[in-house]
Structure 1
Amino acid sequence: MAPVPRRPLSIDHAQRVRSLWTAWFLCLLFHTDLGLMPLFHGLSPEIESHVATERLPLVFWAMLLYFLVPLGAYVLSSYASSAPGWRRWRWFQFGLSVVYTLTNTAHFVVDILIPDSRSDQVLLMAVMLVLGLLINVESWRWCQTKSSWQI
């Protein structure tokens, strides 16, 4: 009996990117939730702030934007993987993932340098950093793949 020829393995990098973003989002939400956890035990979660009270709305808007941009990237990756003319968004996705990896790296380093930082938060930031690096890798691979959806 002749061996059956195997079809080359087709990896869905877009699906991997979306899965990694989902994991990253869950970690981000848990990072926020974990930061508030002391409230449930009668402790203050307050961190010494160097931001003037009148500037806090700007900080809150920046945090909201930091949440919403990758959410938009997640949605765009769904379109980019399923419709013609979206190949250039793969590169946008890759660039965005690099920017977020850099910001996560900075946040991770700051968390390590804070003398009284919580080890659970540092570990969670390390996980987010690893997920971000995986998003970088999969986004890069997705940019390099040829598909039937060309510009």
Structure 2
Amino acid sequence: MATNYQIKIVALWVVFLLGTLFHTQLGLMPLFHGLNVIESQRATNINDISAIMWLMLGFFVLPMLAIIATVFNDSKRYKQVHFGLTIVYSILNFIHLLLDLLLPQVIWYQITLMVLLFLIGLLLNLVAFQWMKTPSRNYPSSEHLPTST
């Protein structure tokens, strides 16, 4: 069976996004039981956290766009950019994991989920790297071009 890297990448991005959403939901679950959630600092109004909300939006939107672009784009340049994006996300996940470990109250189910997300990210790095090394179907490499005699 032929390896379809694009399908693997889309599946890994979807799993990553679902895990990230679940990470956020787990952080809010205490609210449903009348408990407080852990906060880094108290905001007095929505403008205080506006920048954080925009960063979170970007963090979720970039993988969504990567999913769409991966389905429709097979160019060498896109594969390189996409691989770079997966590396950035792995670095951000690792930093997030470390910061979660430095919280005054370590929540181990969140740490477990973050480790899983980090490992999924590493697998995404590997598959994206493998895809980047394959020749594009739409843009053949020079080794596949006919030579003149």
In structure 1, C-alpha distance between the alignment counterparts of 2:43 and 2:130, rounded to whole Å: 40
In structure 2, C-alpha distance between the alignment counterparts of 1:93 and 1:51, rounded to whole Å: 35
1:115 Cα deviation (Å)?
2.9
1:70 Cα deviation (Å)?
1.1
3-state SS of 1:88 partner = helix
3-state SS of 1:45 partner = coil
1:50 Cα deviation (Å)?
7.2
1:148 Cα deviation (Å)?
2.4
Aligned counterpart for 2:31 among listed residues 39, 50, 64: 39
Residue 90 of structure 2: aligned partner: 101
* Residue 64 (str. 1) matches residue 57 (str. 2): yes
Aligned counterpart for 2:3 among listed residues 11, 27, 31: 11
Q: Deviations over 1:45-86 (max 9, x none)?
A: 1413177854311111111111101111111101124xxxx3
Residue 22 of structure 1: aligned partner: 14
Task: Say what the alpha-carbon RMSD is for the aligned residues.
Answer: 1.7
- Conserved? CA contact 1:87–1:149, under 8 Å: no
1:92 Cα deviation (Å)?
1.1
In structure 2, C-alpha distance between the alignment counterparts of 1:91 and 1:135, rounded to whole Å: 13
In structure 1, C-alpha distance between the alignment counterparts of 2:86 and 2:44, rounded to whole Å: 30
In structure 1, C-alpha distance between the alignment counterparts of 2:17 and 2:63, rounded to whole Å: 8
How many residues in Structure 1 have an aligned counterpart in Structure 2? Answer: 139
1:88 Cα deviation (Å)?
1.4
TM-score norm. by structure 2 comes to 0.86
1:110 Cα deviation (Å)?
1.0
Aligned counterpart for 1:123 among listed residues 108, 112, 116: 112
Residue 6 of structure 1: aligned partner: none
Which consecutive residues of structure 2, in runs of 5 or more, have no partner in the other structure?
Answer: 141-149
